[in-house]
Structure formats: C-alpha cells, structure tokens
Amino acid sequence: MPDKSQVSTNPINRRNMLTGSAAALSTLAVTNLPASAADNPDAKLKELFKLYEHAVERMNTADREMTELFKIVDKELPYEPPMPKDIDDTMPPDVQEAFNAMTFGQFARKDLPEIYNKWHDDLEERQRQAKEEYQAYEETHARLKEKYNIGEFEDRADRCFGEYSELRYQIFETPAQTLEGVKIKMRVIELEPALSGQSSYDDNPGTLAVIEDLRRLLRVTA
C-alpha cells in the first residue's frame, strides 16, 4: 500500500488542475503598445516577455500556495488505499495448478477445487474491504476539499497557468525581427526546464520557433 509520503499529489492532482486552461484565455493579446516602442521592430516581443515574466511569478506564487495547502491537508488525510481493481488477484502456484487440472465436466458443474474456492473467497473479501476503505478515503477527501476551499485554489492556479501558457504561445508565434527578438525566445526556452520539467532543448517547442527566426533573419532556406 502507498505510504503517507505518496498522498500529497494524489488527492489534488496538480497535473489535472492545469489541463485545458490555455484555450479559455485565447483572447489574451498585446494590442496597445507604448508609442515610444513604435520604432522597435521587436517591441511586441519585448512587451510579451514582460507580461510573461509577471505570469511566471503569479504561477509560481499559486504553486507555493497549493504546496502549503497540501501540507495542511496531508496532516488530516490518511494514506490513499488501493482501489478494489488494484488488489492482487494473481493465483498462487498451488491454486493455479489445481485450477489447470480441472476437467471440462468440473467446469460445467462448477465443481471447483476447495483450494480454489478458499482463495477466491479470500480475494472477494479483500476486494470488499478495499472498496470500503477507498469510499471512506473519498469521503474524507471531499470533506477536506470543502473545509479548505481547495476549489478556489485550484481555479486560481488554473487561471495562472492558462495565462502563462497563452503568453508563451504568443511569444513563440510572434516572428522575431532582430536578434534581440531571438534572444527573448531563447530566454523563454532557458526558463522552460524549471517550469515544465523538460530536460533538454530538443523537447521544447520553442526551439523550432527560434530556428525559423534565424533562417529568416539569415536568409537561409530550409
């Protein structure tokens, strides 16, 4: 069974709360740039990056809040028990041997070996107990979610991630007009491993955006 250390990310799955947010913020855009930026070819990218940095800060703050909330919840939430479907139903060797030795007639009459019946009854009892334990766990989870208003924290974290995702997308989709603009995209790529767990540039969608910018700026055809 899982130990207490495994609970913190199970009741409130962080990955679940981050799904589907960017689409809800598709209208986010930088349309009104300062007049002083009119002569800067990459003014939009610079402004987007400023907004991106603020979005990252808000997202990190939301993550810290959720982490602190998990610590509080962990003190009251018992370990997550296995679900009934996860109970090991593998036959022991002696039961498997007796089962394999059955004739077709025994199957038809449901004349099962005693050793098999005993194992099967024990399996059903373990599954019944697991069901009761998991139901109690879910009830406790629901009570704590309401007690600590977890839904509000989830919504705020979801909005923060959505804003970050949309700005990140806009930065990579906005063509860089100078090497300064390319550097902005490179900076976002450098931040990505810490933000999303990606381990290399090859895993990052921003890499292609930078390559396309460099091809255009250097007038190199693919």
The per-residue pLDDT for range 87-124, each reduced to its tens digit, is 999 999 999 999 999 888 888 888 989 999 999 999 99
Task: Report H helices in 18-149.
Answer: 21-24, 43-76, 93-100, 104-109, 114-147
Highest mean pLDDT among 4-13, 14-23, 37-46, 210-219: 37-46
Question: 11 pLDDT exceeds 50?
Answer: no
8-state DSSP, 148: T
pLDDT for 8 equals 36
Exposure letters 122-158 (e unless 16+ CB within 10 A, then b): eeeeebeebeebbeebeeebeebbeeeebeebbebbb
Q: What is the pLDDT of residue 194?
A: 56
Closest C-alpha among 22, 14, 26 to residue 153:
14
Residues 130, 136: Cα–Cα separation, whole Å? 10
Which pLDDT score is estimated for 1?
39
pLDDT greater than 70 at residue 191: yes
Query: What average pLDDT is seen over the chain?
Result: 78
Q: What is d(CA 202, CA 28) in angstroms, rounded to the nearest whole number?
A: 28
CA atoms within 13 A on the CB side of 168: 23
Q: Is 20 exposed, middle or buried (0-12, 13-18, 19+ CB in 10 A)?
A: exposed
Write down the pTM of the prediction.
0.58
List, for residues 134-156, the tens digit of each pLDDT value.
Answer: 999 999 989 998 999 988 989 99
* Tens digits of residue pLDDT in 26-64: 334 444 444 445 578 999 999 999 999 999 999 999 999
Question: 81 and 1 in contact (C-beta within 8 Å)?
Answer: yes
Note whether 81 and 134 are within 8 A (CB).
Answer: yes
Instruction: Residue 130: name the closest of 79, 84, 80 by CA.
Output: 84
**What separation in angstroms does the CA of 126 have from each of 13, 89, 142?**
27, 10, 24
